[in-house]
């Protein structure tokens, strides 16, 4: 073969290579564009109302999401919350709103502030532990409502507060009895955790509406602010909570629900445009989820610290049982 023929072949090979490279780039760009187009913006998950302080349960293959309802006007710079809300989903993306299941006025002894709350099911009944302002005993209090359905309606289970401010002495503030989280262990024993600046816990009797023993203080939670949440995976108990202020979410782990607890660090960073950070952690169809709130509703409604919105992202565990830091996204969960 002559030198000229070599040159022709080389030029042809170069043209083929460039053509393949161009086609590959085009395919990659097309795939990237298609991927981008396929990703919906699913956070916040509820956009027609302001929702805060999420809690969630899985019942009969359905997720029930319980939230507070932020009703503050744009120029009202504190919490304005009179009721709790409930939504359900079978895919973590499409949420059905149910009629308002519970309000502060459903507790005759309470006067204001439908703050953070949590629901748990036992023996076919659903118990909703709530934070309110007590009408006659100064300070925040914890009540419990009950229903035969996860969507209510709920009614006051005992006609009085379960926890009042005069029952807890570890701090002198009037708002340390807030943010209840409830957990039923493998042996059937139920526990209630709650608190602000101090984390308390106590056993519950089998009827779920009375304490069983003394109130204890949880140790080993540095810079605890509020919003405890208890969950268990394999042999580990996890206690996540609002950390510092403005709030991040941190967590500790233990082999026993009564401790000792070992601090593991930050789980979720500052929530966008909100000085509070309140989490729920569940598994649904074997997939772990991290549920939280931000102030991320866009104009013209303008979210913020008192106009919050629930978001959901994936949660991942390491081989040693520790949790990976949550990546908050606008896309959230996709179908």
The model's pLDDT over 195-231, given as tens digits with 9 standing for 90+, comes to: 999 999 999 999 999 999 999 999 999 999 999 999 9
Task: Please tell me the pTM assigned to this model.
Answer: 0.89
Contact 85, 67 (CB under 8 A): yes
What is the model's pLDDT at position 13?
A: 44
For residues 256 and 308, the answer to whether their CB atoms sit within 8 Å is no
What is the rounded average pLDDT for all residues in the chain? 92
**pLDDT tens track for 133-191:** 999 999 999 999 999 999 999 999 999 999 999 999 999 999 999 999 999 999 999 99
> Residue 28 — pLDDT band, cuts 50, 70, 90?
low
């Amino acid at each position: 073969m002559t030198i000229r023929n070599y040159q022709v072949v080389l030029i042809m090979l170069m043209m083929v290579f460039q053509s393949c490279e161009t086609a590959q780039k085009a395919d990659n760009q097309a795939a990237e564009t298609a991927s981008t187009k396929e990703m919906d913006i699913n956070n916040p998950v509820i956009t027609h109302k302001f929702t805060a302080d999420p809690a969630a349960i899985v019942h009969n293959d359905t997720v029930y999401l319980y939230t507070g309802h932020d009703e503050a006007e744009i120029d009202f710079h504190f919490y304005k919350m009179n009721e709790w809300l409930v939504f359900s989903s079978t895919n973590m993306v499409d949420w059905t709103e149910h009629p308002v299941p519970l309000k502060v006025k459903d507790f005759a002894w309470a006067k204001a502030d439908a703050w953070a709350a949590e629901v748990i099911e036992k023996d076919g009944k659903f118990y909703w532990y709530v934070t309110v302002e007590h009408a006659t005993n100064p300070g925040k209090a914890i009540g419990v409502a009950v229903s035969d359905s996860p969507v209510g309606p709920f009614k006051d289970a005992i006609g009085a507060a379960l926890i009042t401010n005069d029952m807890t002495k570890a701090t002198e503030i009037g708002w340390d009895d807030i943010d209840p989280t409830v957990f039923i262990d493998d042996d059937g024993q139920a526990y209630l955790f709650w608190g602000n600046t101090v984390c308390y816990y106590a056993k519950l009797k089998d009827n779920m509406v009375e304490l069983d023993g003394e109130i204890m203080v949880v140790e080993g939670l540095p810079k605890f602010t509020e919003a405890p949440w208890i969950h268990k995976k394999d042999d580990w108990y996890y206690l996540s909570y609002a950390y510092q202020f403005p709030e991040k979410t941190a967590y500790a782990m233990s082999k026993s629900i009564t401790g000792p607890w070992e601090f593991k660090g930050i789980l979720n960073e500052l929530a966008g445009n909100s000085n509070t950070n309140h989490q729920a952690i569940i598994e649904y169809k074997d997939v772990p989820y991290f549920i939280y709130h931000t102030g991320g509703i866009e104009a013209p409604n303008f979210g913020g610290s008192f106009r919050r919105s629930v978001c959901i992202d994936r949660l991942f565990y390491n081989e040693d049982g520790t949790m990976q830091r949550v990546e908050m996204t606008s896309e959230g969960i996709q179908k």
